[in-house]
């Protein structure tokens, strides 16, 4: 198994073991909910934690940006502005001082741009670590209004931003772009996919959505992609879904990357794709706000009552059940392709 633990293991081995009970916990550990919510006085505190590691060719500047935005996105989708963070930087012995300096500067600058204050953390060298790794970034913020993936209501509009498979396409293009070019993919499309590395964030659109109003649920489509993100919102909210597959944006560069590697773009990791359920009376103004900010967004379906189930609707009107993928095949494809690449270099 690579990636997050499956639902069954989470429920059996992790969820029952959460230490002491506390009255301040509003939202605790749940599958598909990436941040906790505590009630502190008359405000809500939202806290999120993530590990982050770089690809073999990821620059320290990109690694720092991704680190901050991954942590901040998990807070932003709960309707709260990220305000503070800590992080643990774990490095193999021999990591150069130049790399460390560039990475730390990037983390600091990325946090500054989002208005986040770094208030602590840990930095050290360890023999068990093979690449510089953020063992954990913790981000939190406080505010009055909280949105969770459990708030979707029948009749809501479902919107997604940017499109499917953002993260999968970006990482594969960055690390294995030579394979795509050799297969005949246009260089400008490979470059476009590579640039999506800096689209792996939903901080901006989550903030826009909260300002526009009418938002009932938000979720970042990470592991398992859009399909899992949609299913998790429906599961948490105890509602059904009708999603029109043809309305889900799959930009050409992403489509070609997924086709080459045999990946379903709806079922692979997509940090940067915001899934949002909103009051239909707010749909037009929300889409306008996204467009004015230069963010692509599309209505892809609607929330329906629980008994109506969850389905994909195809162009011809045929339907199929919308289920979370049992595994995110991105990791298998990614690591297998890197292993073959390393073998060819050493041959």
The pLDDT assigned to 118 comes to: 98
Domain range list for the chain: 21-143, 149-336
Within 10 angstroms of residue 164's Cβ, the number of other Cβ atoms is: 28
What value, to the nearest 5°, has the Cα angle with vertex 116 and ends 41 and 104? 140
pTM exceeds cut of 0.75: yes
Q: What sign does the CA torsion over 25, 27, 31, 35 have?
A: negative
Tell me which architecture the domain covering 21-143 has in CATH. 2-Layer Sandwich (3.30)
Mean pLDDT of successive 10-residue segments in the chain (347 residues)?
73 86 88 87 95 92 98 97 98 97 98 98 95 96 94 97 96 95 97 97 97 95 94 95 97 98 96 97 97 96 97 95 93 80 57
pLDDT at position 232 is: 94
pLDDT at position 344 is 57
Q: Which CATH architecture has domain 149-336?
A: Alpha-Beta Complex (3.90)
Instruction: Give me the pLDDT at residue 13, please.
Output: 84
> Could you tell me how far CA 322 lies from the centroid of its own chain?
19
Query: Residue 100: CB partners within 8 Å, gap ≥ 6?
Result: 89, 91, 123, 132
Please list, in sequence order, all residues whose beta carbon lies within 8 angstroms of the beta carbon of residue 307, skipping any fewer than 6 positions away. Answer: 240
pLDDT at 133: 95
Outline where DSSP puts E strands in 222-335.
240-244, 274-278, 297-304, 310-313, 319-321
The predicted structure's pLDDT at residue 34: 82
């Amino acid at each position: 198994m690579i990636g997050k633990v499956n639902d069954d293991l989470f429920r059996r081995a992790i969820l029952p073991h959460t230490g002491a009970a506390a009255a301040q916990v509003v939202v605790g550990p749940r599958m598909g909910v990436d941040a906790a919510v505590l009630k502190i006085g008359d405000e809500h505190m939202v806290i999120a934690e993530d590990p982050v590691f770089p690809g073999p060719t990821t620059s320290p500047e990109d690694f720092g940006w991704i680190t901050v935005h991954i942590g901040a996105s998990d807070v932003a989708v709960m309707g709260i502005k990220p305000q503070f963070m800590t992080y643990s930087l774990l490095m193999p012995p021999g990591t150069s001082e130049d790399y460390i300096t560039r990475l730390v500067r990037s983390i600091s600058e990325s946090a500054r741009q989002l208005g986040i204050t770094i208030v602590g953390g840990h930095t050290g060298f360890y023999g068990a670590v093979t690449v510089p790794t953020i063992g954990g970034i913790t981000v939190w913020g406080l505010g009055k209004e909280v949105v969770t993936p459990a708030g979707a209501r029948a009749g809501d509009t479902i919107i997604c931003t940017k499109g499917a498979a953002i993260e999968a396409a970006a990482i594969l293009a960055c690390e294995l772009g030579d394979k795509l070019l050799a297969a005949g993919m246009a260089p400008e499309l490979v470059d476009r996919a590579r640039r999506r590395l800096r689209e792996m964030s939903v901080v901006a659109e989550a903030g826009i959505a909260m300002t526009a109003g009418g938002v009932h649920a938000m979720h970042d489509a990470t592991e398992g992609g859009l399909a899992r993100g949609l299913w998790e919102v429906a599961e948490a909210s105890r509602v059904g879904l009708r999603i029109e597959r043809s309305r889900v944006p799959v930009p050409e560069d992403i489509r070609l990357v997924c086709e080459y590697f045999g990946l379903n773009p709806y079922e692979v990791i997509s940090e940067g794709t915001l899934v949002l359920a909103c009051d239909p009376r707010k749909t037009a103004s929300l889409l306008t706000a996204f467009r004015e900010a230069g963010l692509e967004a599309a209505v892809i379906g609607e929330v329906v009552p629980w008994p109506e189930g969850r389905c994909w609707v195809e162009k011809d009107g045929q339907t199929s059940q919308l289920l979370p993928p049992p595994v995110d095949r991105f990791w298998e494809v990614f690591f297998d392709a890197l292993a073959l690449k390393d073998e060819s270099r050493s041959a």
